[in-house]
Amino acid sequence: MRYFIELSYNGKNYHGWQMQPDAISIQEKLNEALSKVWQETIEVVGAGRTDTGVHAKQMFAHFDVQSQVKEEIVYKLNSILPNDIVVSKLVEVEPEKHARFDAVSRSYEYKIWLGRNPFLLDFYWQIHSQYFDVEAMNQAAKILLKYKDFQSFSKVKTDVYTYNCDIFDAYWEVNNEELTFYISANRFLRNMVRAIVGTMVDVGLGKISVLDFEEIIKSKNRSNAGLSVPARGLFLTEIKY
């Protein structure tokens, strides 16, 4: 039988979602906890991958087991998992349901703190005393909705069948010292959101124009785009099915 598991995590201490030979991942810790509870080898399939240091307010994964779910399973899992990984729900689904392929949209937030705050170091990219033209950044964000090929914002050495993504929504909001970018799409390329944010920050600082931003998309060349911003400000916030 197949189950969907919903969880959240602080990605600071992990090398992303996906299991790796010589690094600790979210997937590894979840596999270990589930296998211990069920007393059988379990390997979860995630709805997507988050990079090293990226956080998730909502992540889904599926896994298959031989026996039915036990009582208080969420409590047991959370007692085994590290404190920075929390399971919120476990639901039995049809055997063909797939956490990755059945997802229709994914949403991310990127958070910037305009100043210095020692209590927010793990969850914001902090920029001291910088003025941002948020209106220009939102003009650039609207341009994203006009295009599908985002090779300019993709990690160069990555194995993908297409660079096309359908972006449904993208915009910036400022609230006192907090500047947040919101974006939703059917799929994302590796490093895509962080590269988009880095390029739009250049727009906000007046280093490039909104027209330059559009030309960067058209170029399909990662070297033309801005720097990849730090992972600590990025959150996977919602996955829809």
Give which of 194, 193, 226, 231 is closest to 207, Cα–Cα: 226
Choice among 22, 51, 133, 166 that is catalytic: 51
159 is catalytic: no
Tokens of 190: 């590796």
Residue with tokens 């829809």: 240
Contacts of 123 (CB under 8 A, 6+ apart): 55, 111, 232, 233, 235
What's 91's DSSP letter? E
How far is C-alpha 194 from the geometric centre of its chain's CA atoms?
Answer: 10
Which of helix, strand or coil describes residue 31?
helix
Contact partners, residue 209, CB within 8 Å, separation at least 6: 136, 203
∠ Cα 105 175 187 (to 5°): 15
Answer whether 222's CB lies under 8 Å from 236's CB.
Answer: no
Residues 6+ apart with CB under 8 A from 122: 10, 12, 232
**CA 78 to chain centroid:** 22
Q: For residue 177, what are its two tokens? A: 């010292």
Rounded to 10°, the helix 134-144/210-219 angle is: 30
Catalytic residues: 51
